[in-house]
Amino acid sequence: MIASQESVKPEVRSPSPYKPIGVAIAVTFLVTILSYVVPDNYAATAVGATFLFAVIALVLRHDSSTIRHYGLSLGGVLEPLPIRVGPALREAGEACAWALGLTAVIAPFFVVGFRFYRQTWGSFHLVAPVSIADELFGQALVIALPEEAFYRGYLMTALDDCWGTPWTIAKAKLGWGWILSSALFAVGHALTITNVERLAVFFPALLFGWLRARTRGIGAPALFHVLCNVLASTVERGYGIGV
């Protein structure tokens, strides 16, 4: 007997989360090893390069639509197409506005919390880094951009593709990928420099992830990441910590 030729919708399956989680564990393991075996002067560069190579292999070697889906377009700069100056400048301006605005909001709370947590009751003295340019470019190109490209670009997006984004928080669509990518980000920080206090970066990671979802790209969270790191190092120098 011939089966009825009624149209039957094929079962649509979500991608498996095992691949992005496995990739994240493998990359975290590799950067942890590199952070201990590479000389101190080059360790951060080696770690950043590892994140970038992973993102190139996983996302940037694909077409423009894939790159945009993972939020890695940066206004078209990282797409395999001619750069359109207008959209690139507009996206850069929007990213700067988001990053500067959020920094202005969180900076007072961070400074007050820092003083209470570190018990720094002395006076603050603004101390510039040895090289402002080195600090800014180092934070941007070696730390913030590679980390945001991997954790908020590739990992969070891949997990969102698996689990969806059922929550809306301040106009950003979020889900468990936001939580897990932030947790893995924090674990990686605690492993590369053995200090359980570094797990606290889970909380700024939530802000980075919210910003990635809200702006649909990694430009704003990468800039915000830079500003957060610069703020933290400026406050530490100002109170004579780690100098």
DSSP per residue over 30-90, as a string?
HHHHHHHHS-HHHHHHHHHHHHHHHHIIIIITS-HHHHHHTT--TTTTTSSS---HHHHHH
Query: Residue 13's pLDDT is what?
Result: 54
Query: Residue 11's pLDDT is what?
Result: 43
Whole-angstrom distance, CA of residue 221 vs CA of residue 181: 14
pTM to 2 decimals? Answer: 0.91
pLDDT (tens digit, 9 = 90+) per residue, 87-138? 899 999 999 999 999 999 999 999 888 888 888 877 888 888 888 888 888 8
- Check: CB of residue 45 under 8 Å from CB of residue 183: no
- For residue 242, give every residue at least 6 positions away whose Cβ sits within 8 Å of its Cβ, in sequence order, or none: 236
Whole-angstrom distance, CA of residue 110 vs CA of residue 98: 18
Query: Residue 242's pLDDT is what?
Result: 65
Name the more confident of 81 and 145. 145
The H or E element that residue 180 is part of is helix 176-192
For strands 167-169 and 172-174, give the pairing. Answer: antiparallel
Whole-angstrom distance, CA of residue 183 vs CA of residue 188: 9
Question: What band does 5 get if pLDDT is binned at 50, 70 and 90?
Answer: very low
Query: Residue 1's pLDDT is what?
Result: 38
- Check: CB of residue 225 under 8 Å from CB of residue 147: yes
Query: Residue 213's pLDDT is what?
Result: 98
Angle at 192 between CA 224 and CA 140, to 5 degrees: 25
- For residue 107, give every residue at least 6 positions away whose Cβ sits within 8 Å of its Cβ, in sequence order, or none: 231
Whole-angstrom distance, CA of residue 87 vs CA of residue 75: 6
Q: Report the length, in residues, of the chain.
A: 243
Half-sphere exposure of 222 (CA within 13 A, CB side): 29
